[in-house]
């Protein structure tokens, strides 16, 4: 165990803390207290949480990143690792990576010697075997306070917002009893006292910030999605609980009634989307949310909404698959499902947010596209974005336009043709009760009025109409973010939660002098060929980075875009996160390979 301070690091501007223990240890509660305190002090902060797939009990972990500047991802190697139970900690593998520079804090009662840590040959210099349960029992009379002791240890060793953490503890237990508040105050102070009595080899205080906390919010992606849907005018939600999307339905169940809307928790996934399709037919902005297995069940109803040209927003919070897969881990493996799971010729827009804050913009955009183009629109979020908490600045809602479906005029209702061919392919849509607006909405092919048909000629015309109306989407450059040097020879393409990792990687390599750029698509499908061709024009080497085994976006790009030979797919299955440092290293190696290639060509000349 470290016993004395030899020197002091410069104040850290970024701190990544990973904690793991058994269910009931309060690990996630400790993380939530930590991020709330950091936010209250004005820090940028982000927290991800991960669980075993058990319904009750099992292991749990959280990762908290606190910084003095904006954060794009949960970080890489841990600066601090807290293990209340080594068996549980090790279950998280690559999610909680440590190095020799990581400060390791663990429960002494695990009876593991500090020089025998089960970390696969990694030997951290700062290791503390702390009698956490014993301290909790002495200070608070129960080992249930051990998570509060951990907060004290972190506050003591890293000068980590001790006053804000203490205020949070008081607020958290205030409604229970004064005795409980006092006991947790003692546990927190005992952790601080232990840290002071057993200092780090080198002090590692976190740098102070002077950022205003006015309007600062602490939200997760699912709550942000639900809030954005209300702003966009969502009037009906039909769904069924499924990890990790359930919080969207829970939020709307609490709040949508204030805005005159309704939530139906249906008996299954099919009924949930069926109700949402019916509500859209009735003229209401509608949404459903699910994850991969539920999306499989909703597919047939998506076809109905497509052929009936009904607006609908469908959120798929992706998790590891196939089948039940990894219910509590993120993955980006449902892109093929989203694009290709409909039978027949069908095209539906697919959008993906890159962060909690970005989820607001993407959700509003999804409703706008659904209403304008009269089509189902899919949002591909994932477990990391959906369930991680971030500090988010107040959203300026005046920047957003909210669109509504085009309803028929009085003249159009005199001889109403629901699916009339128009120049744009978008036909006016009525709803029940609109005089003169009656029509048949069914899953069978139809003519302009909605009457059933088996005519191949009409079927071909309707297919053309349904595809043509979405053509303008391919030219929406505002649905793509491009960062870096415009004519760079090195490139990254990334979407969803992986985009944040690549943003940090890009900043690292550009700071070292490499000319590189990054493309982050909000619109994943249909493929905007022109946007990609322009971006790739200067590219000699690069990576399409995806958290899936197949690299699904890369394969879709190769179907429709002239991809440079040097652009490769970098993939990884879910629950094995990318680190900013490794992607930066990959880019640096690509730059070296390019230089060697140029040298070889000159030598041959």
What pLDDT score does 425 carry? 96
Contact 417, 449 (CB under 8 A): yes
Alpha helices in 122-268 (DSSP H): 132-140, 146-158, 162-173, 178-197, 221-231, 246-255
Domain tally, the chain: 4
Residue 211 lies in a domain: no
Does residue 120 form part of some domain? yes
- Write out the DSSP string of 391-441: EEPPP-GGG-----PPPPPHHHHTT--TT---SSS------TTSTT-----
- 443 within domain boundaries: yes
Distance CA 345, CA 347 (A): 7
Picking from 17, 53, 58, the residue whose alpha carbon sits closest to that of residue 35 is 17
Indicate the pLDDT class of residue 115, thresholds 50, 70 and 90: very high
Residues 491-515, mean pLDDT to the nearest whole number: 97
Q: What is the pLDDT of residues 2-16, one digit of tens each?
A: 444 445 668 889 999
With a cut of 70, say whether residue 153 has pLDDT above it.
yes
* Backbone φ/ψ region at 3: left (φ over 0), alpha (ψ -120 to 50), beta: alpha
Higher pLDDT, 419 or 204: 419
Cα gap 311→71, rounded to integer Å: 35
- Of 175, 203, 231, at which residue does a domain stop? 203
Q: What angle do CA 223, 507, 521 make, to 5 degrees?
A: 50
> What's the whole-number mean pLDDT along residues 378-388?
97
Q: Rounded to the nearest 5°, which phi and psi values hold at 204?
A: -130, 65
CB 488 within 8 A of CB 517: yes
The reported pLDDT for the residue numbered 1 is 44
The answer to whether position 2 is within a domain reads no
Phi and psi (nearest 5°) for 542?
A: 180, -175
What average pLDDT does the segment 78-105 reach? 95
161 and 251 both lie in a single domain: no
Q: 523 or 143: whose pLDDT is higher?
A: 523
| Statement to judge: residues 467 and 488 lie in one domain | no
- Domain carrying residue 101: 7-203
From the list 518, 542, 517, 531, the residue with the least C-alpha distance to 479 is 531
Give this prediction's pTM: 0.95
Closest Cα partner for 106 from 143, 70, 140, 81?
A: 81
- Residues 559-584 have pLDDT tens digits of 999 999 999 999 999 999 999 999 99
% of the chain exceeding 70 in pLDDT: 97
What percent of the chain lies above the pLDDT cut of 90? 88
Residues 551 and 587 placed together within one structural domain of the fold: yes
Whether 309 maps to a domain, the answer reads yes
The answer on 83 and 231 residing in a single domain is: no
Q: Are residues 252 and 377 in the same domain?
A: yes
Rounded to whole angstroms, the Cα distance separating 442 from 458 reads 16
The two structure tokens encoding residue 266:
């249906």
Pick from 87, 90, 91, 119: nearest CA to 103: 119
Name residue 109's beta-bridge partners: none
> Does residue 31 sit in the same domain as residue 111?
yes
Give the per-residue pLDDT at 268: 97
Query: Do both 73 and 160 map to the same domain?
Result: yes
User: pLDDT value at position 251?
Assistant: 98
Q: What is the CATH number of the domain that holds 45?
A: 3.40.920.10
Q: Do residue 180 and residue 260 come from a single domain?
A: no
In a domain, 76, yes or no: yes
State whether 467 and 480 are in the same domain.
no
The answer to whether the beta carbons of residues 238 and 271 sit under 8 Å apart is yes
Arithmetic mean of pLDDT, 291-316:
97
Q: Two tokens at 246?
A: 């359930």
**Statement to judge: residues 383 and 417 lie in one domain:** no
Give SS3 for 601.
helix
Q: Which two tokens stand for residue 596?
A: 């060697």
Confidence of residue 430 (pLDDT cuts 50, 70, 90): very high
Answer yes or no: do 445 and 371 share one domain: no
Q: Report the DSSP pairing between strands 103-107 and 80-83.
A: parallel
pLDDT digits (tens, 9 = 90+) for 38-73: 999 999 999 999 887 766 667 899 999 999 999 999
CATH classification at residue 560: 3.40.50.920
CATH number of the domain enclosing 235 = 3.40.50.970
C-beta atoms surrounding 85 within 10 Å: 18
Mean model confidence pLDDT for the chain = 94
**In terms of domains, do 130 and 161 share one?**
yes
Per-residue model confidence as pLDDT tens digits over 237-294:
999 999 999 999 999 999 999 999 999 999 999 999 999 999 999 999 999 999 999 9
Q: Which of 203, 226, 256 is the last residue of a domain?
A: 203
| Residue at a domain's end among 460, 475, 490 | 475
**What distance in Å separates the CA atoms of residue 370 and residue 312, rounded to the nearest whole number?**
6
Q: Which two tokens stand for residue 304?
A: 């109905």
Domain assignment of residue 209, yes or no: no
Q: Would you say residue 401 lies in a domain? A: no
Of the candidates 539, 548, 552, the residue with the CA atom closest to the CA atom of residue 492: 539
* Residue 10 pLDDT: 80
């Amino acid at each position: 165990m470290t016993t004395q301070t030899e020197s002091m690091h410069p104040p850290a501007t970024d701190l990544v803390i990973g904690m793991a223990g058994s269910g009931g240890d309060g690990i996630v509660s400790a993380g939530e207290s930590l991020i709330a305190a950091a936010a209250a002090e004005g820090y940028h902060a982000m927290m991800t949480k991960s669980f075993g797939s058990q319904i009750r009990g099992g292991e749990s972990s959280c990762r908290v990143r606190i910084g003095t500047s904006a954060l794009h991802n949960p970080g890489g190697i841990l600066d601090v690792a807290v293990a209340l139970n080594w068996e549980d900690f090790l279950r998280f593998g690559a999610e909680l990576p440590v190095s020799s520079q990581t400060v390791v804090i663990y429960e002494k009662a695990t009876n593991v010697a500090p020089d025998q840590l089960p970390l696969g040959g990694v030997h951290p210099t700062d290791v503390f075997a702390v009698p956490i349960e014993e301290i909790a029992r002495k200070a608070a009379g129960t080992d249930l306070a051990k998570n509060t002791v951990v907060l004290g240890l972190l506050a003591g060793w890293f000068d980590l917002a001790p006053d804000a953490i203490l205020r949070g503890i008081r607020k958290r237990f205030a409604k229970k009893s004064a005795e409980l508040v006092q006991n947790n105050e003692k546990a927190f102070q005992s952790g601080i006292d232990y840290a002071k009595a057993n200092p780090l080899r080198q002090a590692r205080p976190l740098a102070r910030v002077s950022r205003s906390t006015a309007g600062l919010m602490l939200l997760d992606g699912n709550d942000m999605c639900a809030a954005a849907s209300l702003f966009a005018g969502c009037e009906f939600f039909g769904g069924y609980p499924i990890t990790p999307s359930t919080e969207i339905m829970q939020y709307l169940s609490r709040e949508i009634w204030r805005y005159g809307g309704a939530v139906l928790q249906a008996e299954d996934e099919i009924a949930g989307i069926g109700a949402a399709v019916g509500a859209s037919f009735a003229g209401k902005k509608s949404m459903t949310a699910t994850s991969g297995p539920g999306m499989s069940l909703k597919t047939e109803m998506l076809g109905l909404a497509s052929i009936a040209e009904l607006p609908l927003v469908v959120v798929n919070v992706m998790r590891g698959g196939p089948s039940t897969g990894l219910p509590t881990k993120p993955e980006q493996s449902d892109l093929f499902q989203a694009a290709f799971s409909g039978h027949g010729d069908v095209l539906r827009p697919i959008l993906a947010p890159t962060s909690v804050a970005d989820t607001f913009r993407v959700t509003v955009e999804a409703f706008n596209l659904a209403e304008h183009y009269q089509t189902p629109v899919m949002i591909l979020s994932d477990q990391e974005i959906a369930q991680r908490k971030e500090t988010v600045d107040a959203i300026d809602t005046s920047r957003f336009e909210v669109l509504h479906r085009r309803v028929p005029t009085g003249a159009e209702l005199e001889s109403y043709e629901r699916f009339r061919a128009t120049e744009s392919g978008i036909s006016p849509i009525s709803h029940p009760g609109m005089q003169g607006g009656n029509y048949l909405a069914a899953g069978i092919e139809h003519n302009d009025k909605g009457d059933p048909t088996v005519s191949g000629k009409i079927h071909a015309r309707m297919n053309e109409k349904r595809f043509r109306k979405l053509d303008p989407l391919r030219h929406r450059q505002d649905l793509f973010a491009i960062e870096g040097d415009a004519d760079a020879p090195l490139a990254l393409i990334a979407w969803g939660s992986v985009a944040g990792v690549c943003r940090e990687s890009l900043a690292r390599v550009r700071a070292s002098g490499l000319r590189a750029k990054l493309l982050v698509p909000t619109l994943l499908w249909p493929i905007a060929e022109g946007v990609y061709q322009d971006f790739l024009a200067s590219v000699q080497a690069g990576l399409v980075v995806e958290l899936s085994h197949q690299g699904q976006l890369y394969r879709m790009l190769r179907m429709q875009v002239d991809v440079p030979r040097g652009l490769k797919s970098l993939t990884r299955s879910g629950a094995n996160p990318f680190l900013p440092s490794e992607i930066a290293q990959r880019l640096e190696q690509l730059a070296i390979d390019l230089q060697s290639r140029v040298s070889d060509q000159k030598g041959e000349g």
